[in-house]
Structure 1
Amino acid sequence: MSRSSSRPLIPALAAAGALAAGIVVTGAATAAAAPGSMLPAPLPSIASLDVERYAGTWQQVAAVPQPFNLECARDTRATYAVTAPGTISVRNDCTTWSGAPSGITGEATVTDPSTNASLQVTFPSVPFSPPEGLPNYVVTYIDEGYETAIVGDPARTSGFVLSRSGTLTGAEWQQVQDVIVDRGWNPCFFLTSPITGGLETIQPLCTL
């Protein structure tokens, strides 16, 4: 999902820092190649995102580790609110290894109005972000009840599994793994995120 004054967002709208750092997750190579290219096709978005329903608080239950969230030990979460058409406020919080709270506030802008599922996230205290209009946050899966979501950047250098409740059943974890594989990630690169009242261990998602 830190240094509250300098790191990118914790759980969901991530990837600005990951892209700037040039981090590459080798599991992305399992994605289908774009036509005429040896590179994997960009992470696909869902067909339509209801941003009003998406607003609220999400718990990070698993993620591809990122340098900017290594300080987060547990209870990593993101809170979103629609502030204007196509604009969403972002607040990310977590508990550090010392037990102290950490957080950062930013803003997300919809880059694909036809789906509302691709966005660019920026933070005033973070110097790096993609060129204006390019997404760094794609909602690639959400269940019908808007209780579980999977997001990442187009190149799959980041990936986050989000849950409203912070707890998933065995069948729900399997569904998450199936989606992650289908979208071109390797589930073994995702680590579970300890949540109070939920899964308390840190382990590769593929071992659940």
Structure 2
Amino acid sequence: MKTLIALLLALAAPVAMAQSGAGAPNAPVADLDLERYAGQWHEIAHLPMFFQRQCVDRITATYTRQPDGTIEVRNACRTKDGDMDESTGVARPVDGAPGALQVRFAPGFLSWLPMVWADYWVIDLDPEYRWAVVGGPSRKYLWVLSREPSMERAQFEQITARARAKGYPVDRLVMAAPLR
């Protein structure tokens, strides 16, 4: 009986590690230059999120540095009826974690409530800032972003393989832009 239990535990360990994301650490990048990160990004793919259910394509995120050190976040997408949907929020850096931000889309008068701020971690980043991958500690959301409106398939596969190793369910990604 002890041998059977040991065998079952040995077989279950790799599955549990894969499901927990133990293959690679899930953490924000160690260095993020917000000046270089600013500007427009095109979404290539995302994990399903309720607030993006109306988006069909042309999904962008534009980050603009503000004098007070925060970042204006402007998300836009084209909806099924052809209209553009847009939302504006604010991001603030997290002290001691250059690749981590907190983002809020709730009205400013609610900014004192911790629950209106969401973790926004840049978890993978091209050294030339041509693409970025955004996630968070829960692994429930993930966005693959690019400076261009499409991405090379090989690059996308490399990016998603690293995200998978960090425990993200990349098999559930919704494609928002074409791959080349």
TM-score of the two chains, using structure 2 as the length reference: 0.79
Task: Tell me how far apart the structure 1 counterparts of residues 130 and 52 of structure 2 sit (CA, whole Å).
Answer: 23
Within the alignment, does 1:32 sit opposite 2:22 as a pair?
A: yes
Aligned with 1:180 (options 149, 163, 177): 163
CA shift, 1:132, in A, is 7.3
Structure with max Cα Rg: 2
CA distance in 2 between counterparts of 1:121 and 1:190 reads 22
- Counterparts of 1:91 and 1:175 in 2: how far apart (Å)? 28
Q: How does 1:131-170 map to 2 (within 5 A)?
A: 131=114, 136-170=119-153
C-alpha distance in 1 between matches for 2:62 and 2:117 = 22
Which residue matches 1:24? Answer: none
Report deviation, 1:185. Answer: 1.0
Return the offset for 1:148.
Answer: 0.8
CA distance 1:128–1:31, change in 2 (3 Å): farther
- Higher normalized helix content (fraction of residues): 2
Aligned to 1:99: 82
Residue 89 of structure 1: aligned partner:
72
Partner of 2:106: 124
Question: Structure 1 residues 95 and 135 mapped into 2: Cα distance closer, same or farther (>3 Å)?
Answer: closer
Corresponding letter in the other structure for 1:98: D
Contact 2:102 2:118 in 1 (8 A): yes
Residue 133 of structure 1 and its aligned partner are, at CA, apart by 11
Q: State the number of aligned residues.
A: 162
Q: 1:49 to 1:135 in 2, by over 3 A?
A: farther
1:171 Cα deviation after fit:
1.8
RMSD (Å), alpha carbons:
2.9
1:65 aligned partner, one-letter code: P
Counterpart-to-counterpart distance in 1, 2:174 and 2:87: 22
Structure 2 counterpart of 1:102, which letter? D
With over 3 angstroms needed to count, the CA separation of the structure-2 counterparts of 1:135 and 1:105, relative to structure 1, is closer
AA paired with 1:137? Y
Deviates most, 89-98 or 164-173: 164-173
Contact 1:30 1:185 in 2 (8 A): no
Moved over 3 A (4+): 124-130, 132-135
Alignment of 1:36-75 (within 5 A): 43-75=26-58
Identity of aligned residues (%): 33
Instruction: Give distance in 1, aligned partners of 2:79 and 2:162.
Output: 29
Post-superposition CA distance 1:102-145 (Å, at most 9, x none): 1011100011x334211111123497997279751100000111
Seen in structure 2, the aligned counterparts of structure 1 residues 122 and 145 have a Cα distance that, compared at 3 Å, is same
Letter aligned with residue 31 of structure 1:
G
Gaps of 5+ in 2: 1-17
Task: For 1:171 and 1:185, locate their aligned partners in 2 and report how far apart those are by CA, in whole Å.
Answer: 19
CA gap 1:165/1:153 in 2 versus in 1, 3 angstroms? same
Cα gap change, 1:120 to 1:151, in 2 (>3 Å): same
Could you tell me which runs of 5 or more consecutive residues in structure 1 were left unpaired when the two chains were aligned. 1-27, 34-40, 200-207
Structure 1 CA distance, aligned partners of 2:34 and 2:172?
Answer: 28
